[in-house]
């Protein structure tokens, strides 16, 4: 094996040219040393000059290689930047496409909702139109039963509509209650007062809104019914039931009421809070007569359905009478004999 091969084996990472250069440098060093030691200083100097030349050439080669590496690095950086920019552009385009699609979907959805609303509005208008003959017939029957002494306040909207009033008055006339409690005053107060005037009962109506209470009081006075019906201001106050506070009529205004044998629950309005009418049964149960009729308006709504289910579960003797009568549910209350005796 030649010296050059041995050196290459020892330095396996050197290229052929580098190994030759290193070997030549080694030989030159050795030559320079030998000639200097033997007194041939001229030859030694020449060998050192040659060695310097080789070193300089090596450095130049190294510099060129480094410059190439740096150039390649810069080119790779440029490529990377281009790739990243391209990916960013694609990402932005994809997001923009998604946004436009979502926008389209939103428009489609809004359009569909508008169409459904149109159909629902049309249906509501159509069902109101269809209800007109029924409401007209009920109005005729209401006015045949009574001759009002002043213009009657309007029915419908917040007030009971004629068909519900007709059913309500039929119950009042047939059951002839002595003391009616109404939760939520208005047009119904005047009609109930007319019915009680004939049968000899009394109405106490609560209103949480002083303005509406005043209007109902004025209507009752205009009809000469103030002796039959009284409207009480009952601002909503928190009442605690089973660990939860509900805004309900101030219970103080019920303090003097006993043996209530007919109740119309038509307030507080749903806008005053969730389960607005749930406290009613809890707050009046002990003030009811041993037998009472409870008319619950808007009984088709989910809050009212839940309230009725909870009441009939909790109060023995409270049962539903048949299906909904218009918007009303009618409940019969019969105090269990043991509790009736305890009260007596
Ligand atoms: C459902 S309303 C009671 C209606 C009454 N029982 C009748 O049939 O005329 C319940 C409460 O809503 C309030 N109210 C009445 N008319 C209203 C209206 N047009 N807008 C907002 N609140 C009203 C009053 O305070 C009333 O006691």
Residue 21 token pair:
């250069």
**Does 293 contact ligand 1 (Cβ within 6 A)?**
no
Nearest CA to ligand 1 atom 8: 159
CA distance 119 to 82: 55
Higher pLDDT, 188 or 1: 188
Please list, in sequence order, all residues whose beta carbon lies within 8 angstroms of the beta carbon of residue 278, skipping any fewer than 6 positions away. 241, 246, 303, 306, 307, 310
**pLDDT beyond 60 at 271:** yes
Distance from residue 210's CA to the centre of ligand 1 (Å): 11
Assign 214 a pLDDT band (cuts: 50, 70, 90): very high
Q: Which residues pair with 334 in a beta bridge?
A: 291
Query: Residues 207, 216: contact at Cβ < 8 Å?
Result: yes
* pLDDT (average), residues 173-195: 98
Assign 321 a pLDDT band (cuts: 50, 70, 90): very high
* pLDDT (average), residues 254-271: 97
SS3 (DSSP) at 99? helix
* pLDDT (average), residues 191-217: 98
**Does 160 contact ligand 1 (Cβ within 6 A)?**
yes
DSSP H helices in 257-317? 279-284, 302-314
| Atom of ligand 1 lying closest to residue 267 CA | 10
Least confident segment among 18-22, 67-71, 137-141, 212-216: 18-22
DSSP H helices in 154-278? 162-175, 187-199, 210-222
What pLDDT, on a 0 to 100 scale, did the predictor assign at position 21? 76
* pLDDT (average), residues 252-265: 98
* pLDDT (average), residues 84-91: 86
**pLDDT beyond 90 at 279:** yes
What pLDDT, on a 0 to 100 scale, did the predictor assign at position 2? 60
The three-point CA angle 163-137-265 to 5° equals 10
Query: Residues 104, 128: contact at Cβ < 8 Å?
Result: no
Q: Omega before 268 cis (within 30°)?
A: yes
Most confident of 99-113, 215-229, 319-333: 215-229
Mean of the per-residue pLDDT values for the chain?
89
Distance from residue 207's CA to the centre of ligand 1 (Å): 8
Cα 165 from chain centroid (whole Å):
36
Nearest CA to ligand 1 atom 25: 209
Q: Which residues pair with 294 in a beta bridge?
A: 263, 331
In the chain, DSSP finds a helix count (H) and a strand count (E) of 9, 9
CA distance 24 to 54: 9
Tokens 């969730």 appear where? 274
Most confident of 56-70, 96-110, 131-145, 258-272: 258-272
Q: Where are any strands of DSSP class E within the chain?
A: 179-183, 202-207, 229-233, 236-241, 244-249, 260-265, 288-296, 318-320, 329-334
**Does 209 contact ligand 1 (Cβ within 6 A)?**
yes
| Atom of ligand 1 lying closest to residue 269 CA | 10
For the stretch 24-59, pLDDT in tens is 878 888 888 888 888 888 888 888 888 888 888 878
Assign 262 a pLDDT band (cuts: 50, 70, 90): very high
Assign 103 a pLDDT band (cuts: 50, 70, 90): confident
CA distance 208 to 268: 7
What is the 8-class DSSP label of residue 328? B
Please list, in sequence order, all residues whose beta carbon lies within 8 angstroms of the beta carbon of residue 233, skipping any fewer than 6 positions away. 207, 210, 213, 253
Higher pLDDT, 103 or 219: 219
**pLDDT beyond 80 at 259:** yes
Query: Residues 248, 172: contact at Cβ < 8 Å?
Result: no
**pLDDT beyond 90 at 94:** no
What pLDDT, on a 0 to 100 scale, did the predictor assign at position 275? 96
Q: Which of 137, 147, 199, 197 is closest to 167 using CA atoms?
A: 137
Residue 20 token pair:
């030759």
| Atom of ligand 1 lying closest to residue 211 CA | 25
**Does 294 contact ligand 1 (Cβ within 6 A)?**
no
**Does 153 contact ligand 1 (Cβ within 6 A)?**
no
For the stretch 283-295, pLDDT in tens is 999 999 999 999 9
**Does 154 contact ligand 1 (Cβ within 6 A)?**
no
Residue 245 token pair:
């506070």
């Amino acid at each position: 094996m030649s010296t050059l091969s041995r050196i290459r084996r020892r330095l396996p990472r050197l290229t052929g040219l580098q190994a030759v250069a290193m070997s030549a440098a080694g030989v030159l060093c050795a030559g320079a040393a030998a000639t200097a030691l033997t007194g041939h200083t001229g030859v030694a100097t020449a060998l050192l000059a040659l060695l310097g030349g080789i070193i300089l050439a090596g450095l130049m080669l190294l510099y060129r290689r480094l410059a190439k590496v740096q150039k390649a690095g810069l080119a790779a950086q440029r490529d990377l930047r281009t790739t990243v920019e391209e990916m960013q552009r694609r990402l932005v385009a994809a997001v923009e496409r998604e946004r436009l699609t979502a926008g389209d979907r939103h428009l489609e959805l809004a359009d569909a909702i508008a169409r459904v609303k149109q159909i629902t509005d049309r249906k509501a208008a159509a069902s109101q139109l269809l209800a007109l003959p029924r409401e007209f017939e009920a109005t005729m029957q209401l006015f045949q039963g009574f001759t009002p002494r002043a213009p009657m306040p309007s029915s419908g909207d917040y007030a009971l509509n004629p068909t519900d009033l007709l059913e309500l008055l039929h119950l009042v006339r047939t059951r002839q209650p002595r003391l009616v409690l109404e939760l939520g005053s208005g047009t119904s107060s005047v009609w109930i007062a007319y019915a009680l005037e004939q049968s000899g009962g009394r109405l106490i109506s609560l209103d949480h809104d002083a303005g509406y209470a005043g209007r109902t009081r004025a209507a009752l006075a205009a009809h000469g019914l103030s002796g039959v019906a009284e409207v009480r201001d009952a601002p909503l106050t928190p009442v605690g039931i089973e660990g939860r506070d509900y805004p309900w009529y101030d219970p103080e205004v019920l303090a003097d009421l006993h043996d209530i044998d007919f109740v119309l629950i038509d307030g507080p309005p749903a806008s005053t809070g969730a389960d607005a009418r749930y406290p009613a049964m809890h707050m009046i149960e002990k003030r009811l007569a041993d037998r009472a009729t409870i008319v619950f308006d808007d009984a088709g709504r989910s809050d009212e359905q839940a309230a009725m289910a909870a009441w009939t579960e909790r109060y023995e003797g409270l049962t539903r009478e048949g299906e909904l009568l218009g918007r009303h549910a009618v409940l019969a209350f019969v105090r269990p004999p043991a509790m009736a005796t305890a009260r007596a």
